[in-house]
């Protein structure tokens, strides 16, 4: 695992979590290479070798297949790579499967969308369509 999403409701709790995570990774022989926060206090006094620690709060960053927007503290899912598949093509069973397979949602936050896509794929099988039928 190389990404972790976590949060705290108070700054002292977040500072403690930060120290615990650094110690945990260090104990496993792993070095923390990236760190992001929507609290500028947590970005200072960082002891990470060769790390990617920005001392500014970014507009957005990626983690576990999601876009995190620290300024608003919201998570978003980008469907542009999925939509690009069908922009200039006839929609086929092959294309539906390809678009469905591109959805990466390890946290299950958009499972209703994934389920709907899988139900569409199931219906295409029931109709006995060939892979290239529109």
Model confidence over 18-29: pLDDT tens digits?
889 888 888 888
**pLDDT tens profile 62-74:** 877 788 888 888 8
Q: CA nearest 54: which of 68, 38, 43, 41? A: 43
Percent of the chain with pLDDT over 90: 19
First to last CA, the chain: 39
Q: What is the pLDDT of residue 78?
A: 77
Average pLDDT, the chain: 81
39 or 82: which carries more pLDDT confidence? Answer: 39
Q: What is the pLDDT of residue 120?
A: 94
Measured CA to CA, the distance from residue 71 to residue 106 in angstroms comes to 24
Measured CA to CA, the distance from residue 40 to residue 43 in angstroms comes to 5
> Who contacts 7 (Cβ-Cβ below 8 Å, separation ≥6)?
14
**pLDDT tens profile 118-131:** 999 999 999 999 99
**pLDDT tens profile 43-63:** 776 655 545 555 567 788 887
106 or 85: which carries more pLDDT confidence? Answer: 106
Instruction: Give just the sign of the alpha carbon dihedral 87, 90, 96, 101.
Output: negative
């Amino acid at each position: 695992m190389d990404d972790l999403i976590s949060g705290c409701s108070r700054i002292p709790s977040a500072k403690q979590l930060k120290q615990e995570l650094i110690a945990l990774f260090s104990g496993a022989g792993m070095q923390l290479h990236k760190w992001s926060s929507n609290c500028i206090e947590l970005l200072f006094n960082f002891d990470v070798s060769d790390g990617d620690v920005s001392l500014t709060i970014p507009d957005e960053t990626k983690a576990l297949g999601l876009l995190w927007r620290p300024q608003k503290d919201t998570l978003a899912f980008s469907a542009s790579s999925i939509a690009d598949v069908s922009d200039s093509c006839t929609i086929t069973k092959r294309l539906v499967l390809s678009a469905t397979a591109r959805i990466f949602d390890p946290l299950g936050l958009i499972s209703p969308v994934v389920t709907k896509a899988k139900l569409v794929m199931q219906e295409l099988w029931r109709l006995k369509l060939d892979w290239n039928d529109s």
